[in-house]
């Protein structure tokens, strides 16, 4: 089956869904229409291209998920399970420690930046009060170095 090419509505690039990395526009409609499945989470590099996010943050997400593409999809998904929220907050905390902006973190995490700001406020308190959360954050920061 031949894959139909579409024009990006923002940058007028003619790309297929498998060539989404060609389009440099952050608002590329072809990238946005790419199906949200665990197949798009095969590597941090692919996630960085598809989400137009920082590679370091994407590597942190994969590290927190132990390289499991389904868990990466869950971290970037809409679940409010306590375990996933703790992982998200640890990633946000470490990304802010590396001085990434809320917008860049939000793009990688598939969230709005006010949500990331709220998560960062909570993560700062958790980092001081919760030893387990602090250990999770420190493990991410050691591996990021």
Structural domains of the chain in order of their starting residue, each with its CATH number:
56-144 (1.10.1750.10)
Q: For 45-69, what is each residue's pLDDT tens digit?
A: 888 887 888 999 999 999 999 988 8
The better pLDDT of the pair 72, 28 is held by 72
Assessment of whether the complete model's pTM goes beyond 0.85:
no
The better pLDDT of the pair 68, 3 is held by 68
Q: Is the pLDDT of residue 118 over 80?
A: yes
Task: Provide DSSP, 38-58.
Answer: GGGGS-HHHHHHHHT--HHHH
Asked whether 93 and 130 are in contact (CB, 8 A), the reply is no
């Amino acid at each position: 089956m031949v894959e139909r090419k579409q024009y990006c509505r923002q940058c007028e690039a003619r790309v297929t869904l498998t060539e989404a990395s060609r389009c440099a526009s952050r608002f590329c409609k072809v990238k946005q229409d790419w199906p949200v499945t665990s197949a798009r989470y095969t590597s941090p590099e692919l996630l960085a291209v598809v989400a137009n996010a920082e590679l370091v943050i994407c590597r942190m997400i994969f590290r927190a998920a132990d390289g499991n593409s389904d868990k990466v999809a869950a971290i970037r998904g809409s679940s409010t399970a306590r375990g996933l929220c703790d992982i998200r907050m640890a990633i946000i905390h470490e990304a802010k420690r590396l001085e990434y902006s809320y917008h860049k973190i939000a793009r990688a995490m598939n969230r709005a930046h006010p949500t990331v700001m709220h998560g960062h406020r909570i993560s700062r308190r958790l980092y001081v009060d919760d030893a387990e959360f602090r250990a999770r954050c420190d493990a991410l920061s050691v591996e990021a170095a």
